[in-house]
Structure 1
Amino acid sequence: MKIINALKKKISGRMSSEEYSAYLRGKGATIGKTTVFIDPKQTHVDEQAAFLISIGDYCTITAGVTILAHDYSFSVLNNTYGIMPQNHRQTKIGNNVFVGRGATILMGAEIGDNCIIGAGAVVSGKVPDNTVWAGNPAKQISTLDAFKEKRAKYYEDGAITLAKGIITRLGRKPTYEEMGAYIGLFAPRTEEFRKYFEALSKRYETVADNVWNMEKKYIDLDDFLEKNHLV
């Protein structure tokens, strides 16, 4: 009955990430702790061979992702040559991996730890630890270290873009909550403001401390807005 109810939820789109993970585990898949399926309704994990699929801890699987452990291309050989050479392979995704929207992880793929797979990528073969991949077929486009430096460089620009969008489109100043992880730039490091940092740790316990320990460049949110000529 539990499996039937889980299947009904999956079909209706009401299944949560936790429920979908439990459903896949029930079919033999390995799903690590704190791994999240952003939109289970639009995620396609090979249920026929789920026991050949392993996804590590702290992974983010976004909408439209497909993860396979077999294919059906042998049907062409069946119709042409009268043979049925089925093919199954283990598919592994390591720890702390982000899989972008619409990516396809083909059977036999082995993605290492701390990897980023870009939206729409088609991944096969081995993906080394600490790398960033994109494209069809997917190729390495960066190391994780280089990606970190690039994102850090534009971190403040992202904060300005977000704040400007709220001011321009909503006609008011942004709140600390709306600024998300950008608050590391300007939020006072006092107990009064600690709650805003703690709110960032709904999934990862380390986020609050990591943002808290960032270099603070402004007195507060108003100072950030004024010095960037947003108000």
Structure 2
Amino acid sequence: MTNLFILCKRIKRFILRLFLGHKHMVTSNEFIAYLRSQGVQVGNNVFFRSPQTACVDVTRPLLVEIGDNCTILENFLLLTHDNVKKVFGNIYHEFLPSSGPVSIGNNVYITRNCTVLKGVTIGDNCIIGFGSIVTKDIPANSVAVGALARVICTIEEYYEKRKKQSYEEAIRYACIIYKKTGKRPTVEQMYEEFPFWMEGDEDDHRLKFSVAQQTAGYHDIWKKEHKAPFKSFDEFVDKALEEYNK
């Protein structure tokens, strides 16, 4: 109970400092305590230079791992999901969840203004240079830098690619939850993956956001047209655990 009380005090102080501004600066240790309380795996001797400007995606905390002896500077962004599904929904009236684990190895130095996107692994003993946007794995013992935007495909090509990836990512997410907790995933944990087991006219109060909210803008079409590939959440989880045990 004592440890729980101390943790609650730290989280409360962290939230208060966020609202009270620079007069009450959040420390690196407090930010790390908050991340851990959400379920993010953070190693020893990790330092956030500017917790006020760091944004670590905790919508799927079990997908985030940060190793030992890491230093992360100002304006850091780490994402385990994206919202391009909004664009697909308005064009194709289909909801495609998107997620992927992010793993930062041991002894990694991340400089200012860096972004790490879903599905990325950064190996041990790496330096990520100023302003980098990391979209692919960085092998161990590397120095990486760069941020370039260029046309890579049409929206239709990306939509077809995402349909396949969305299912693979959902299965992988369910497997990671099971691996890290030893328990079957819950609907609450997988609230964005609902299209795989819910028909268009169904909803579930356990979802963090209702189906109508998540398909806003095309919900009426979604209700009529969407067909789930699995009959239930349990059937979906069974399939995921079958893949896990292969």
What TM-score, normalized to structure 2?
0.53
- C-alpha displacement at 1:84, in angstroms? 1.2
Q: For the Cα contact (< 8 Å) 1:120–1:134, is it kept in 2? A: yes
**Equivalent residue runs for 1:62-101 within 5 Å:** 62-101=73-112
- C-alpha displacement at 1:6, in angstroms? 2.1
CA distance in 1, matches of 2:133, 2:39: 24
Residue 38 of structure 1: aligned partner: 49
CA distance in 2, matches of 1:134, 1:123: 8
- C-alpha displacement at 1:51, in angstroms? 2.3
CA 1:137–1:33 in 2, change beyond 3 Å: closer, same or farther? farther
1:121-156 residue CA offsets vs partner (Å, 9 max, x unmatched): 010221111000000159xxxxxxxxxxxxxxxxxx
CA distance in 1, matches of 2:122, 2:34: 23
Residue 52 of structure 1: aligned partner: 63
Q: For the Cα contact (< 8 Å) 1:118–1:133, is it kept in 2? A: yes
- C-alpha displacement at 1:73, in angstroms? 1.2
CA distance in 2, matches of 1:86, 1:50: 16
Residue 16 of structure 1: aligned partner: 27
CA distance in 2, matches of 1:89, 1:59: 21
AA matched with 1:25: R
CA distance in 2, matches of 1:110, 1:71: 17
SS at match of 2:36: helix
Residue 15 of structure 2: aligned partner: 7
Q: Which runs of 4+ in 1 moved over 4 A?
A: none
Residue 174 of structure 1: aligned partner: none
CA distance in 1, matches of 2:75, 2:146: 16
Residue 121 of structure 2 is aligned to residue 110 of structure 1: yes
Q: For the Cα contact (< 8 Å) 1:110–1:124, is it kept in 2? A: no
CA distance in 1, matches of 2:17, 2:63: 24
1:139-192 residue CA offsets vs partner (Å, 9 max, x unmatched): xxxxxxxxxxxxxxxxxxxxxxxxxxxxxxxxxxxxxxxxxxxxxxxxxxxxxx
CA distance in 2, matches of 1:111, 1:137: 19
CA distance in 1, matches of 2:148, 2:104: 17
Residue 164 of structure 2: aligned partner: none
- C-alpha displacement at 1:8, in angstroms? 2.1
SS at match of 1:51: helix
1:31-80 residue CA offsets vs partner (Å, 9 max, x unmatched): 11110000000111112222211000000010001011111111111122
Bigger radius of gyration among the two = 1
SS at match of 2:33: helix
Higher relative contact order (CA 8 A, sep 6+): 2
CA distance in 2, matches of 1:135, 1:124: 10
**Equivalent residue runs for 1:107-186 within 5 Å:** 107-137=118-148
List alignment gaps of at least 5 residues for structure 2.
1-7, 150-246
Report the RMSD for the aligned CA atoms in angstroms: 1.6
- C-alpha displacement at 1:112, in angstroms? 0.2
CA distance in 2, matches of 1:24, 1:111: 19
1:98-120 residue CA offsets vs partner (Å, 9 max, x unmatched): 01100100011100000000011
SS at match of 2:60: helix
Which protein is richer in strand relative to its size?
Answer: 1
